Amino acid sequence: MPSGSADVSSILDRILEAATDNLRIAKILVQMGLDPDSVTYEAIFNRLLEIFVHNITLANLFAVVGAVFFVATLLMRTMVPLRVANMIGCAFFALFGALSANVATFLLYLLMLPINALRLRQMLKLVKKARHAAEGDMSIEWLKPFMTERRYRRGDILFKMRDPANEMFLTVTGKFLVKEINVEIGPGALMGELGFLTPDNRRTGTVECIEDGQVLTITYDRLLEIYFQDPQFGYYFLVLTSQRLLQNIDRLQKQLATERGTTTNRIA
């Protein structure tokens, strides 16, 4: 056997022997301040109580409160209360680090505070603007920070009917035509949102660019991510898309009524 392998083997044996020695029950009891030859439940309880009383300090109390809030975050289903609980926990752990002179702990949790505060602010802003949209304002300016820019030239096809759908569009400039119903779409309109709701995620129409323009896109995976961060947002998004669907139905009904009126006049 090569000498290098022998050296590694001997090192591993020494590590194993040291670990076995350190994990012996007798040695652990000695480290706890107990006599291995006379261990009783009362002795163990008294020793644990002594350790507990000895470690009752303001710093450790802050650490316990911080731990309670961190455990609470595991039980929360929505992001807003989770972020709040996490911020409170970070504050108590930062105080623990300061009082115990643990610089690493203090800096870690101190830096986590503004990060959580920023994410909480973003989420609250998102929910607020989504609610505002559901109450009648059809603007989705609140969604723009989550979207990416894309440009199209005249004649480009954005998507065709029955194509697999994986993203939603918001028009910024230019004009687009829904070919099946011959409806032009200008700036500030949603396109492709219904594909997010269809069971098979298929396009419900064909959209062609008829005037060079710019759009913003967001994938359905990103929309799902935002939804799972706060289900309340998901509710308001469904309300928003439902309103869009009702607008489409109303437009089609008016168009059908106009065509029927034209046909009647021709017959008369």
pLDDT in tens, 124-154: 877 776 666 555 554 566 678 888 999 999 9
Count how many Cα atoms sit within 13 Å of the Cα of residue 83 in the half-sphere of its side chain.
17
In the sheet that holds 157-159, the strands lie side by side as 157-159, 207-211, 175-178, 183-185
Task: Identify which has the larger pLDDT, 165 or 251.
Answer: 165
**Average pLDDT value for residue range 177-206:** 84
**Per-residue model confidence as pLDDT tens digits over 255-264:** 788 777 776 6
Residue ranges per structural domain of the chain: 12-54, 58-132, 141-262
5 Cβ contact list (under 8 Å, min separation 6): none
What pLDDT is stored for residue 130 in this prediction?
62
Fold of 141-262: Jelly Rolls (2.60.120)
From the list 44, 23, 24, the residue with the least C-alpha distance to 33 is 44
Helices of type H across the chain: 3-22, 25-31, 41-54, 58-73, 79-99, 103-134, 220-229, 231-267
Q: Is the pLDDT of residue 17 over 90?
A: no
